[in-house]
Structure 1
Amino acid sequence: MFKGLTRLQLQMVALTSLLVLAGSVWLARSESSASGASQCRCFPGDACWPSTSTWNTLNNTVGGRLIKTVPIGAVCHDTFPGVSYNAKKCADVQGNWARPELHDETTHSPMAAFFANMSCDPFTPRSAPCVIGSYVQYAVKASCDSDYRATINFATKYNIRLVIRNTGHDYMGKSTGAGAIALWTHGIKDTTIKDYKSSYYTGKAIKLGAGVQANEAQEAANAKGYVVVEGDCPTVGIAGGYTQGGGTSPLGSKFGLAADQVLEWEVVTGAGTVLTATPTQNTDLYWALAGGGGGTYGAVLSMTVRMYKNMATAGVTLSYLESSDAYWQILQVFLTNLPAVLKSGAVLYWQLLPGNFFYMPQAYLPGGTAKDLVKLLQPTLDALNAKKIPYSLTSKDFPTFQDSFKTLNPEMNITEFNLGGSLIPRSLVATNKSVTALVAGLKSVTDNGGILAGVSMDVSKTPPVPNAAHPAWRDSLFLAFLGTVYDRSNLTANVVAQQAVSNVLDPSLDKLTPNPAAYLNEANFKRANWQSAFYGTNYAKLVSIKKKYDPNAIFWGPTVVGSEAWAPAADGKLCKTGVTV
């Protein structure tokens, strides 16, 4: 989302004077609603917690693939049993902390460090406590459906919190949890390219195991002369929350959301049943999984998606710096011109940075030329020239999409941010009055210490098969990410900063539309009215599907469908809230 920037460049005005700290523990909840152990998931230290021999039995059942968590930061401390401080290994962890590859090979470490709650943080002093804390207690490295069933059945029988995890690419807190067992799907790497034929699609398709990452899927497709719809980060697990949550993409304007590409799902339900969900079989489950959010209806074993012929792709970058109000005037021209640019099939990634710096590190036009893409951006370039504002523009033609992607996006590190954001509708650039209000809203974000990034794509085309992606996607102009820099050393500061996102930054854009919508994969996990913001008018139907396929409510995660029935207490224990869904 925010690329090519040093941490120094990302420093911003503090917002602490605007807010009062409401609590020092994230997602803290009173346990007053939990009147007994049956009201909460079983937790380490409780009498109900399985014995060592019981865990060993599970380990035997899953072929020795049960893994007890040893925090990745334990080598930076003296305080975790069985692990000694190791300066060299600690330096390696610290030096690679921003790299997704460090985390996605672990069973437990989320890339959004906020959700680790500093349980065993590599940047705290050597003598600081290192405990499992908010990390999962155990993980099953699943290889097949029987491992899924065994894990789900174990969690159900012993009333233990269950987490579904692949890589840990997760800004919403869904891939970790105190006292939990993780169903770790990362090892399921099967890919099969096939000639697919059905009543709703005939053509090339690729079946992807739950652990396949975007770069792996793309490489398999490219080897046969095709592409798949993938996101901006190549290490994301493509069949997980990415596609199940909708899925933005550099190919979005050309082919639609990732959720629009799905032909079938292979799923293990909360009852332990293996099902195939397609537009003609278990159709409600198919609909829900394609855009209605991951980790709540069932655990996906595989996903089959459409492939498209690879194509020449144009790439453009643009940046300018301007201290006067002309900066915002140019932005208004840029935004007003966006619908025409996106309608051509282009996708633009851009940022508004401190000091009135506009930075567009990636713009793609699949199937077009660099000359075409520059021409589409000409109104913005003309406005810059008219104001005599210097700018940097590069353009290039690439023989394939992946060539453009690897050049414009050579490395994607973790976004260490207290995150918010929303979907901005095209209606906001339809009149001078509305686009002026939009620019004022964006300016308010940066004036109040925020950084903003936009992912502009046109996914208005009706998908080949109806799905549960938020209806607001079809009318959107861009996805606005916003936030403040995450403080690695001060959890309280991050709690304050997240409150700033909720109370100051998100409202700057929410007030522009009567029914604000947001991207459920990457947004403010504390967002009010999240059911409407993340799911829109689909929510009630999604709840009924959740109840059907997860009758024991074993699947849970923050802001997933049906999640309001449970919440973590102050110690992390997952307890019922008394809310009926």
Structure 2
Amino acid sequence: MSTRSVLAWSAVLVALAAVLARDRFFFFFSADSVCRTIPIDAAWPSTTAWGRLNETVDGKLIATVPIAAPCHKTLNGEPNSLYDEERCAVLRDTWFLPETHLESPSSPMSYLFSNDTCNPWSGPDTPCTTGTDAVYVINATEVSDIQEGVRFATENNIRLVIRNTGHDYLGKSTGAHSLSIWIHNFKSTELLQYSSSEYTGPAVKMGAGVESLEAYKFAASHGLVVAGGNCPTVALAGGFIQGGGHGPLASKYGLAADTVLEMEVVTPTGDYVIASPKENTDLFWALRGGGGGTFGVVTSATVKAFTDTYGSTASMMVANTGANADALYSAIGGLIQKALPGLVDAGAFVVWIVAPFGFMISPAVAPGLTSAELDKLMQPMIDILKGAGLEYQYSSAQHKTFLESFESYSQATSWNVSDYNVGGRLIPRALALERTDELVGAIRHISTTAFMSGVSYNVASADAGGGAAHPYFRETLFGLALGTPVNYTDWGATLAGQGRITHDLIPALARLTPEGGAAYLNEANFEQSDFQRTLYGENYERLLAIKRKYDPKSIMYARTAVGSEEWEERGDGRLCRVK
């Protein structure tokens, strides 16, 4: 055969392969390809193929429309029939509320991950595009919906994203050119009398979309409590637990991951399995603290439930007048040394805020303690404030149940997570008590220009159950989460604020633990360069081996997740393997 003939036949074969791939009869690109397929590629599924997927999932496929579309005259380069000035005005009024994004199948609650592609404040003539949002979303309500989504993404070499409530500081729940599986509506709850060689007693089985307040209310209706989050709208099984999960009952019962008895999971190969101490034990270990969006899609978690009891809460406020700043930061050092250890060792969970406006405790939560007992534990801090001549406000209250305690503060102190770029660091007890002055110096450097939250707990003696949460948790006195504000009218300022977190604020804390250090996986900096050590510690290599076992084709990717170093997101949003 002549050279010309060979070339001609080669051209025909390449063209035929492209056509067949488009029609999904032949997969020209496999899941092992260098890059995931995006809409401009010939291999991107046809409209007919997407229609077949929609039929397979009973009409639950959603074509993404950014929620700010009513604010723009064009959408993805075409005239936008959704443009509506009145709807846009309403949206602007509610944009800062987490609930606005919570019910969206695609809107990132952390605005940085929208890439500013459809901003309600940018003006109606500014183009609105899907940008970094998923192209399509499956509103999954059945296990089969998830399996079909995983299969379709695998066969068509498309980036796969798992989204729950969207509470996500690391950009795991969104991704350009992707198919997203939305598990927010897995809302089942069931009370069990659980019996195994590891645990016998009451338990709650909850769907992946069940949020903290929903779980607390269900448990309370049966005279019980479960370990959940401090934010009422954080879903527990689908992400929170997989990051470890600390909350108001952490000092009493441990991390939420410590209380898990078993999970139901769709693996990246599409299998539906149970992960427990008896089945798929390695996966069970990994899912309890090893990170979400990479080992599989958790559809339910069964967790220990504990007898409800009374409890107390307290709050405190000290304004920073400028003239009292030295005394105020000295008092924060006193809190760290003389009050926090006793509080968390007694089972309390203490959230404290340091920011340009001053210092506040909001709240201290003490399950099983009377208000008088909590006041006594808070007395060292009160004495420090009085001794320094600092004016303060303090109050405490006693509550009949944990739910009553939670509801007394959760709405009043529910900070809007969508307004900040976020990073964090875990502070071990030894550092806090032995190098207090250095630590307070770092806190002062950060909090004079940024928002900082200290979340204090003691999970050292909790039954970890062999989970994969970072071992540093067991040494931690408190975690520091810090934030720089999102500027919705100045994208450059928002990016600069994230840069400050990465290059200035987090390093100020990291320098205090040069030999190691760690961050809470759910409140970390998504630009953490050494994320393997900082987010997973000594568990990383074992987690990576489990990832490769259950996801041999690396179907599931998320920023800073286990195995994510094998991929890169390019400037056009395309996800490609690192060569």
- Deviation readout 1:424-453 (Å, 9 max, x if unpaired): 00002333xx11111111112124x22211
- Is the 1:268–1:299 contact (alpha carbons within 8 Å) kept by the matching residues of 2? yes
Q: Distance in 1 between matches of 2:447 and 2:462?
A: 34
Q: Distance in 2 between matches of 1:107 and 1:324?
A: 44
Q: Distance in 2 between matches of 1:114 and 1:384?
A: 38
Is 1:140 the equivalent of 2:154? no
User: How far has the Cα of 1:401 moved from its partner?
Assistant: 1.0
User: Could you tell me the TM-score, scaled by structure 1's length?
Assistant: 0.91
Q: Distance in 1 between matches of 2:529 and 2:573?
A: 21
1:534 partner letter: L
Residue 74 of structure 1: which of 69, 76, 87 is its match? Answer: 69
1:457 partner letter: Y
Counterpart in the other structure of 1:301? 299
- Is the 1:483–1:505 contact (alpha carbons within 8 Å) kept by the matching residues of 2? no
Equivalent residue runs for 1:81-480 within 5 Å: 81=78, 82-322=80-320, 323-337=324-338, 338-355=340-357, 357-411=358-412, 412-415=414-417, 416-431=419-434, 434-447=435-448, 449-480=449-480
User: How far has the Cα of 1:301 moved from its partner?
Assistant: 1.2
User: How far has the Cα of 1:413 moved from its partner?
Assistant: 4.6
Counterpart in the other structure of 1:483? 483
- Is the 1:268–1:275 contact (alpha carbons within 8 Å) kept by the matching residues of 2? yes
Q: Distance in 2 between matches of 1:319 and 1:84?
A: 45
Q: Distance in 1 between matches of 2:480 and 2:348?
A: 17
Q: List gaps (5 residues or longer) in structure 1.
A: 1-35
2:455 alignment partner, SS class: strand
- Is the 1:221–1:307 contact (alpha carbons within 8 Å) kept by the matching residues of 2? yes
Counterpart in the other structure of 1:523? 524
Q: Distance in 1 between matches of 2:318 and 2:32?
A: 59
Q: Distance in 1 between matches of 2:284 and 2:367?
A: 29
1:430 alignment partner, SS class: helix
CA distance 1:482–1:387, change in 2 (3 Å): same
- The CA RMSD over aligned residues, in Å, is 1.4
Residue 44 of structure 2: which of 39, 42, 49 is its match? Answer: 49
Q: Distance in 2 between matches of 1:107 and 1:165?
A: 8
Counterpart in the other structure of 2:495? 495
1:183 partner letter: I
- Is the 1:152–1:272 contact (alpha carbons within 8 Å) kept by the matching residues of 2? yes
1:422 partner letter: R
Structure ID, larger Rg: 2
User: How far has the Cα of 1:405 moved from its partner?
Assistant: 1.1
Is 1:38 the equivalent of 2:25? no
- Is the 2:32–2:553 contact (alpha carbons within 8 Å) kept by the matching residues of 1? no
User: How far has the Cα of 1:464 moved from its partner?
Assistant: 5.0
User: How far has the Cα of 1:531 moved from its partner?
Assistant: 0.6
Q: Distance in 1 between matches of 2:552 and 2:93?
A: 44
- Is the 2:336–2:433 contact (alpha carbons within 8 Å) kept by the matching residues of 1? no
User: How far has the Cα of 1:483 moved from its partner?
Assistant: 2.3
- Deviation readout 1:179-218 (Å, 9 max, x if unpaired): 0011111121111111000011111111111121112111
2:374 alignment partner, SS class: helix
Q: Distance in 1 between matches of 2:388 and 2:100?
A: 46
1:458 alignment partner, SS class: coil
1:255 partner letter: Y
1:40 partner letter: C
Q: Distance in 1 between matches of 2:134 and 2:356?
A: 37
- Deviation readout 1:283-331 (Å, 9 max, x if unpaired): 1000000000011011111111011111111010011125241112111
Q: Distance in 2 between matches of 1:99 and 1:544?
A: 39
Question: Larger deviation: 466-475 or 273-282?
Answer: 273-282
1:352 alignment partner, SS class: strand
Q: Distance in 2 between matches of 1:120 and 1:314?
A: 44
Q: Distance in 2 between matches of 1:562 and 1:62?
A: 29
Q: Distance in 1 between matches of 2:450 and 2:355?
A: 8
Equivalent residue runs for 1:523-542 within 5 Å: 523-542=524-543
- Is the 1:259–1:291 contact (alpha carbons within 8 Å) kept by the matching residues of 2? yes
Is 1:509 the equivalent of 2:474? no
- Is the 1:155–1:161 contact (alpha carbons within 8 Å) kept by the matching residues of 2? yes
User: How far has the Cα of 1:469 moved from its partner?
Assistant: 0.3
- Is the 1:269–1:549 contact (alpha carbons within 8 Å) kept by the matching residues of 2? yes
Q: Distance in 2 between matches of 1:400 and 1:37?
A: 53
Q: Distance in 1 between matches of 2:550 and 2:116?
A: 35
- Is the 1:244–1:259 contact (alpha carbons within 8 Å) kept by the matching residues of 2? yes
User: Could you tell me the TM-score, scaled by structure 2's length?
Assistant: 0.91
Counterpart in the other structure of 1:25? none
Q: Distance in 2 between matches of 1:107 and 1:309?
A: 36
Q: Distance in 2 between matches of 1:501 and 1:76?
A: 31
- Is the 2:266–2:298 contact (alpha carbons within 8 Å) kept by the matching residues of 1? yes
User: How far has the Cα of 1:410 moved from its partner?
Assistant: 1.6
- Deviation readout 1:481-514 (Å, 9 max, x if unpaired): 1121111122222222211111110011111112
Question: Larger deviation: 41-50 or 84-93?
Answer: 84-93
User: How far has the Cα of 1:349 moved from its partner?
Assistant: 0.5
Question: Larger deviation: 266-275 or 81-90?
Answer: 81-90
User: How far has the Cα of 1:84 moved from its partner?
Assistant: 2.9
- Deviation readout 1:215-273 (Å, 9 max, x if unpaired): 21111111111111111111111111111101110111011101011000100111111
- Deviation readout 1:557-578 (Å, 9 max, x if unpaired): 1000000111111011111112
Q: Distance in 2 between matches of 1:409 and 1:141?
A: 28
Counterpart in the other structure of 1:14? none
- Is the 2:238–2:299 contact (alpha carbons within 8 Å) kept by the matching residues of 1? no
Q: Distance in 1 between matches of 2:475 and 2:144?
A: 42
| Number of corresponding residues | 539
1:427 partner letter: A
1:49 alignment partner, SS class: coil
User: How far has the Cα of 1:77 moved from its partner?
Assistant: 0.8
Q: Distance in 2 between matches of 1:226 and 1:232?
A: 17
CA distance 1:572–1:464, change in 2 (3 Å): closer
1:68 partner letter: A
Counterpart in the other structure of 1:11? none
1:198 partner letter: S
2:525 partner letter: N
- Deviation readout 1:501-550 (Å, 9 max, x if unpaired): 11110011111112120011112100120110000100000000000111
- Is the 1:74–1:83 contact (alpha carbons within 8 Å) kept by the matching residues of 2? no
